[in-house]
Homo-oligomer: A and B are copies of this chain.
Amino acid sequence: MANSVVGLPIAVDAMGGDKAPSEVVSGALQAAKELDIHVLLIGDPGLADEVSARPNVTFQAASQVVGMDEDPGRAVRSKRDSSLVRCAEAVSEGRASAMVSAGNTGAAMASALLRMGRLPGVTRPAIATVIPVPGSTPTVLIDSGANVECTASMLVQFAQMGSALATERFGIVDPRVGVLSIGEEASKGNALVKEAHALLDGGAAGPDVRFIGNVEGRDVMTERVDVIVTDGFTGNVVLKTLEGGVKAVVGGVMAALTGSDEVKEAAKVMMGALLPLATELDPDTHGGAVLLGVNGVCVISHGSSNAKAIVNAIKVAQHAVSDNLVDRIQVVIASGRGGPGVGT
């Protein structure tokens, strides 16, 4: 990926997600109009009339759709004219600078891997998710679901790629990287965590990664750490546990708000004060997980994405392109001990 791609459009999978195509198209048109970002919208031929005349929008027809529950590998191999595969292809053929999809996560990964390929030296691409921290910069959680079984040297690469993202996206200088475990001491954790701790502590991630040791689940939403590395199984469990926990608390607060008239009146006043918090924790605002380690920018938005979430995901993609995230990752991977080939 070179600087020349900055001027290219961002490919958007019009058919991906629970609210596709209507909300996705609406978000893409909004980004094109309000953010002046050139969008390559790929989807059902029937959408052509609605979107073709819009400024900053190019339309490409794709005859197939990958369903949310389809087997990723099979879907990507058999549906070569799906909107998802065509998005990845547009990036690999140099017609788009990045891709955005709210569709089947596994299939989005498989498409990106198949069409863009891995960056040199990367053992396995990983999904980095951004967790909001009230009153502070967010925490990057990597891997949050791409690789169910991991080796310690894969976790070292996640540390490198997560660091690059924290710096590029949030401007965090020298981000603090921790390994997710069940105690701060190096002796705590399972075999994978102990080995990853030893490698990172020994500088295996290279001079650009600032390893601060083990962190715990309770640190995820605090200012203690900027990048948390973990295997994709644990990372996905953490992500969904947080989603559920926050929803339960917010639901409880909301239930309290529907009490007596007096409470309702108080609630109206309170809401003004609570709104900044709600925005901060809103998945639509912070959504847009990124697949790191492939040779291009691939942003995977939440399956329930609405137009606002799509606009945000497009912003995230644009940012990654203009800041050369992929180049940065290549540099940090190459500077690690072993470089290409490590961790196999």
Contacts and interface: CB of A to CB of B under 8 A. Distances in A.
A210 B274 CA distance: 41
A129 to B, nearest CB: 13
B217 A236 contact: yes
A35 interface: no
A267 interface: yes
A273 B248 contact: no
A201 interface: no
B218 A240 contact: yes
A260 to B, nearest CB: 8
A53 interface: no
A242 B238 CA distance: 9
A159 to B, nearest CB: 18
A237 interface: yes
Q: Is the interface of A mostly helix, strand, loop or mixed?
A: helix
A105 to B, nearest CB: 10
A2 interface: no
Contacts of A249: 134, 245-246, 249-250, 281
Given A237-B237, A255-B277, A277-B253, A245 B267 contact: no
Interface in A258-281: 259-260, 262-263, 265-270, 272-274, 276-277, 280-281
Contacts of A255: 134-135, 277
B245 A191 contact: no
Contacts of A182: 145, 148, 232-233, 236-237, 240
26 contacts: A134-B249, A148-B182, A149-B191, A190-B233, A216-B244, A217-B238, A217-B241, A217-B243, A217-B244, A219-B244, A220-B245, A222-B244, A233-B234, A234-B234, A234-B237, A237-B238, A241-B241, A242-B242, A242-B245, A245-B246, A245-B249, A249-B250, A252-B277, A256-B273, A256-B277, A265-B266
